[in-house]
Structure 1
Amino acid sequence: PERAAESYDRAVLVMRALREREARAAATGAPRPARYADAAGAGAAVETLRILDAVRPVWESGEGPVHELIRADLAGGGELVRTLAAYFDTGGDVTAAAGRLVVHPNTLRYRIVRLRERDGVDVDDPDTRLLLTLAARLATAAPPP
């Protein structure tokens, strides 16, 4: 009984992980994943959600060029955030990311170059890439209930 709240919280994380996994599969045309799992079966997704939940308040209170860029993009529809999410989810594979977005690979390359030239955001810088990855994941992940 004393661990019931902890067990409930873990179950909620597993359900969120499964929903996100299903949404990603639908967005990419991948086969539909299993609709059930325990914490071990949900894998790293559960831990990732725990980290994203902890990072969310820090991100939301942050400032700087990456924060401004992401906030402006989300206010304008989030095309860049979707582009970054696809790009990072495919490990920087332009062709695969473009396929997920149903755009030409040159369109995706142009969007990434535009980040550097227009916005001064370098996706090759490890710290910037981490911030952009977190921002993209936070924007696409449902907040905790």
Structure 2
Amino acid sequence: MWESGGGPVHDLIRTDLAAGGELVRTLAAYFDAGGDVPEAARRLVVHANTLRYRLGRVRERYGVDLDDPDTRLLLTLAVRLVPPEGS
């Protein structure tokens, strides 16, 4: 079902995974940390500003509104439906 979908969230996931998955991993950490940027950055072992920059790229490059609850829900599910690294 996921593979047949479209739209900005699907584009983000597909494009980012093809480029190595940095934004997908960033989003997963961000959602796992309940939106806590410093905690998500700690989990990724990056500076909080790096994490903020990546989230900004998600917004600007893909037009994904991280403040929209429905979009956050779809993204949360999407980052869990993609195959883990190395699969």
1:117 aligns with 2:34: no
Instruction: Using the aligned pairs only, state the percent identity.
Output: 77
Structure 1 runs of 4+ with >3 Å offset: none
Aligned position for 1:80: 23
- Aligned residue pairs: how many? 84
In structure 1, stretches of 5+ residues that fail to align are 1-57
Question: What amino acid sits opposite 1:107 in the alignment?
Answer: T
Aligned counterparts, 1:1-145, within 5 A: 58-139=1-82
Higher RCO, Cα 8 Å, sep 6+: 2
Give the drift of 1:60: 1.6
In our comparison, the structure showing a higher alpha carbon Rg is 1
**Partner Cα separation in structure 2 for residue 140 and residue 124 of structure 1:** 25
Question: What amino acid sits opposite 1:122 in the alignment?
Answer: D
Give the drift of 1:118: 2.1
* TM-score calculated relative to the size of structure 1: 0.55
